[in-house]
A and B are shown apart, each in its own frame.
Chain A
Amino acid sequence: MSAAATTHDHAHDHSHDDHAHGHHEQSFVWKYIFSTDHKTIGLQYGLTGLLFLLFGFFLMLLMRWSIAYPGVPVPAVEVIRHLPLIGDLFEQMFGRWLNADGSLNGELYNMLGAMHGTIMVFFGIVPLGFAAFGNFVMPLQIGTIDMAFPRLNMMSYWFFFISCVLMMYSFFVGTGPVQTGWTMYSPLASTTNIGVTSIWSHGHMWWLMAMVFNISASLLGSVNFIATIINLRTKGMAWMKMPFFCWAMFVTAFLLLLAFPPLEVAAILQLSDRVFGSSFYLPSGLMEGGKHLDISGGGSPLLYQHLFWFLAHPEVYVLILPAFAILTDIIPCNARRPLWGYKSMVYSVLTLGFLSFLVWAHHMYLTGMGTMMSTYFQITTVLISVPSVVLLTCLMVSLWGGSIRFNTQMLFASAFLPMFGIGGLTGLPLAFSFIDLAMHDTYYVIGHFHYVVAPGTIFALFAGVYHWFPKFTGRFMSDKLGKLHFWPSLIGMNLVFAPMFIQGMAGFHRRWYDGGKYFENTSGMSHWSTTLTHKIGAFFGFNIPDNMLSLNIVMSIGAFILALGQVPFIINFWFSIKGGKKITNDNPWDATTMEWATPTPPPHGNFLFDPVAHRGPYEYSVPGHTTDFYPQWESEPGKPDLKALAEKAQAHH
């Protein structure tokens, strides 16, 4: 069917290897651990990211338990404590903070909250979405043999790995991990637990150092991505013939490149406040525990927020753009229709990238930064919704008139569209400062951005895993298990996040570890949703109160369903590597982009022939063509570029 279907393993034919290790047979360490091959590095990022997603999810489950059942011991905590090894780890990381009866307290809740945010954003989604898929797929799609700087690529993974180790280590130090939210606002973050024996027993130190490494890794990675896309596109791969996937990765890399340095500055200055006692973020006259701190003052907490959000707003686009990137491959492929409005999507994503740098202070309406600032940021924030809507609309219209294959990745992809829509639309009111003043830090905000990143981005990432798994391994993931993964996930996600809007508008604050139990004026009111919950509970014989607290229970049940839903995925993922159905050719989804022209799994050097892009990336159901897809690399209908293949083969033998 495709050129690459004639699979010879060329991997070992390349005696002149470009890389640091010029061995014919690479040893295990060089091949899998210190590899410079973009595919291996992509897999390393992917596995690390998936593990962290799971870990971050586990933190969330603990939090949800505390919110739904404050003061009730965590289930099975005694059992976990007595397990060998895991028990010790659990005791060190969480157990030592639990109340005597095994229930959560505010201190642990704050740690969990801060680490959940940090891990999900910086250690879960970005590595998986941007680094893993970008590394694996992007060089294949532009038809090159590797990234522009392979050794830099390896270094960026190992910087990332160091940052993971440092971040995890913060669970084991004296104060435990940070408790001040993933935003790490000063002065609170700089002054909590000042009285420690050694600054190294403070989780904040480890958080900051981990972030410095993480940022450096991202910077190196993004330099590599951009240079690769600019300079290593294969013959015929003009900018406007490039798959949207690569465009989105290109813009994402730019966001990382230019937005991360200010965060690095923020982290360095905060580190300086902590280690050298400087006052970058500490205003004059700051007191703690009734005593003046031993600082000079004169700094500004607002400075931290500016530097932080200058990164952190582009960061949310770093989270969502890889999701769009993945979907623009999956939706046309499974709807058998070209991507609708490719050009407008490209221009939108470029606009989105630029505008995303100009909206950061809409996170700071409550800081009193000035009316002119907030006016300006309200305008840009409303503006940025335009390109986002264009992207979403194009994806939706791409479905129109298609003959859709509802395999697992398409289910996830099609669920993404409404879920992201909800997330995006609920964000619009927050763009206005007068609404934001009321909604700030309530569950409404939590619901909004979780709809964007959880059923949004994470669904797209799952879709990507199902889509490219055959390319990684040569085997399909099970469709049955996949559907068993999809439906509970969809239901669970909505049960967790939809009630947040109701609670948020009722005034529930995000940092209530007891879920609002002691704020009766807020939590005591009832609503049709709570009445419904109460009645359903009563039907099954449970006594669920008819007030806002009942929604906590709904959400926690949702989280539990979500957790159960991931079990089929984990089983599916690991068992399909060896036991999945084998693919019959190198292009199992009948896709058009170039990664499917390589042998499976792609060998070192990727292509067996010199790929040439003959046409655009989304040539599905072309009228008059024999098959319903027309790959980029085929010079004439149904035929691979045989001439190029022959030349390549000759050159090697």
Chain B
Amino acid sequence: MADNIEAIQKSIKWYLIIGGILILASGATVWLSYVELPTHSLNILVGMILATIKATLVALIFMHLNHERSLIYKILLFTVVLVVVLFALFIFSHEDPLVFKGMYAPVEQQ
């Protein structure tokens, strides 16, 4: 955080605004979850996008990541990459696009 007094005084207003936005966004998430989108996966996607936006706001404004030292970014970048790897591979272990279907695939009856 910029440690001078004015910057902090200015950011106080922002904290309250962001808090309000977060509560509104939470309300929106609840409402959207009851809307029947074409597939439920779409509901999940929308909900997760909203959650990510909220989380980003918290991280940027409340956790002061909008102006942090480069070292912290490096640590977090590394961590986030690993989490993504963890998620992605867990999903791939269910949805394997390379399943070999050639030789022994059942011949469809005409």
Contact = CB atoms under 8 A, between A and B. Distances in A.
Interface of A: 230, 254, 258, 262, 302-303, 306, 310, 354, 357-358, 361, 369-373, 375-376
Given A258-B78, A357-B85, A370 B92 contact: yes
Interface of B: 71, 78-79, 82, 85-86, 89-90, 92-93, 96-100
A258 B82 contact: yes
B100 A371 contact: yes
Given A370-B93, A371-B98, A373-B92, A262 B86 contact: yes
A599 B22 CA distance: 57
A376 B91 CA distance: 14
A370 B93 CA distance: 6
10 contacts: A258-B82, A303-B90, A306-B89, A354-B78, A370-B93, A372-B96, A372-B97, A373-B93, A373-B96, A376-B92
Given A302-B93, A369-B93, A230 B71 contact: yes
Given A306-B90, A371-B96, 7 more contacts: A254-B78, A258-B79, A302-B93, A357-B82, A358-B85, A370-B93, A371-B100
A344 B85 CA distance: 26
A371 B93 CA distance: 9
Contacts of B97: 372
A361 B82 contact: no
B86 to A, nearest CB: 7
Q: Which of B85, B89, B92, B97 has the most CB of A within 10 A?
A: B89
B78 A361 contact: no
Q: Which of B78, B93, B97 has the most CB of A within 10 A?
A: B93
A516 B82 CA distance: 42
A449 to B, nearest CB: 23
B83 to A, nearest CB: 9
Nearest to A226: B75
B89 A373 contact: yes
Contacts of B71: 230
Contacts of B98: 370-372, 375
A582 to B, nearest CB: 44
A361 B89 contact: yes
B58 to A, nearest CB: 21
Contacts of B99: 370-371
A258 B92 CA distance: 21
Contacts of A361: 89
Contacts of A262: 86
A99 to B, nearest CB: 43
A575 to B, nearest CB: 46
B86 A310 contact: yes
Contacts of B90: 303, 306
Contacts of A375: 98
Closest CB pairs A-B (n = 5) = A370-B96, A372-B98, A371-B98, A369-B93, A372-B96
A354 B75 CA distance: 12
Nearest to B99: A371
Contacts of A310: 86
A508 B85 CA distance: 35
Nearest to A360: B89
A375 B100 CA distance: 13
Contacts of B86: 262, 310
B85 A372 contact: no
A358 B86 CA distance: 9
Contacts of A358: 85
Contacts of A369: 93
Contact of A306 (B78, B79, B93): B93
B68 to A, nearest CB: 14
Contacts of A302: 93
A332 to B, nearest CB: 29
Nearest to A302: B93
A258 B85 CA distance: 13
A343 B82 CA distance: 25
Nearest to A369: B93
A310 B100 CA distance: 26
